[in-house]
Structures are given as structure tokens and as C-alpha cells.
Amino acid sequence: MKIILTEDIPQLGSAGDLLTVKDGFARNYLIPYNKAVNATTENVKNLAHQKRQVEEKLNKIKREAEKLAKKIELVSCTVPKTVGEEDKLFGSVTSIDIHNSLKNEGIEVDKKAVILDEPIKNLGIFTVPVKLHAEVTANLKVWVVKE
């Protein structure tokens, strides 16, 4: 019997997969528990339509992330910090400081998107990656200066 899965089932498939299973498995388990529907021509067409809609939505999100990445790469953030003798920073520049600096520039990103391996502890110019999407990462130029 041909079925379309409506949810992920381990060792069988993921939601939206078109599968052939034994009749008893489909009639006694999958269909009564709403884990699958019969693969009629109408259901197959609906599945194809839903897949197209999801794909278009994901492409739109990716395009918006790419636009934001271009905008971020044109901006350079300045983070003023107090320094002591020999230009040593008191504290360090963290991803939250960079997030707040971006916010002041008018760019809103998630604070977890700013990727710092370790906090910045020196004055200077640094390139910090900002992960906006699974496939889109922008490089932000951060200036750490004396306050």
C-alpha cells in the first residue's frame, strides 16, 4: 500500500515521504494514528504543493539573510573600552557588546548570531563572523578603541 507520512517515524521515513508499506501496517497503525494518509492522486498533489510552499518560504528567508549580510558587511562597529597602562583593556569585548553596537547602528540580529571564539582583549580592528542563516555568514569589522 502506498502512503504519505504526516510525521517523522524512526527507521521508516520523515514527514512528506511517499512510501510503500505492508497493507496491515498501514491500515492498523499508520492511518488510524494519523501518522500517514493514503497516497491518492489528490493527496500526492497536495503534498507537492505543500513542498513547493515550504521551499519558497525557505528561499525567501535565505534571501533576506543575504540582504542583511550585505548590510552588515558595509557597517563597521566601534566599541569604546577603558584602558590602563600599556593600552591593556579593563575587561574584554564580548559578543553582547558587539550585538549592542550593531543595535546602535540600526541592525537587529540575534545575540547568539555573533560568533566569538573568545572575548577580544586588545585594542585594534577585528573581523567577527555573524551567522544569519545556516548558509549565510557575514563578516563584521569591529574597532576596539580607547574610551
CATH number of 2-63: 3.40.5.10
Residues of the chain with CATH 3.10.430.100: 65-146
pLDDT of residue 87: 81
In tens digits, the chain (147 residues) has pLDDT values of 999 999 999 999 999 999 999 999 999 999 999 999 999 999 999 999 999 999 999 999 999 999 999 999 999 999 999 998 888 888 899 999 999 999 999 999 998 999 999 999 999 999 999 999 999 999 999 999 998
The answer for 78, left when phi > 0, alpha when psi is -120 to 50, beta otherwise, is beta
Judging by beta carbons within 10 Å of its beta carbon (0-12, 13-18, 19+), is residue 66 exposed, middle or buried?
middle
User: Which CATH number applies to 65-146: 3.40.980.10, 3.20.20.150, 3.40.50.1370, 3.10.430.100?
Assistant: 3.10.430.100
DSSP string, 65-124: HHHHHHHHHH-EEEEEE-B-GGG-BSS-B-HHHHHHHHHHTT----GGGB--SS-B-SSE
From CA 108, how far away is CA 98, in angstroms rounded? Answer: 11
Considering just the CA atoms, what is the radius of gyration of the chain in Å?
A: 25
Pairing assessment for the beta strands 76-81 and 136-146 based on DSSP bridges: parallel
pLDDT of residue 34: 94
pLDDT of residue 141: 96
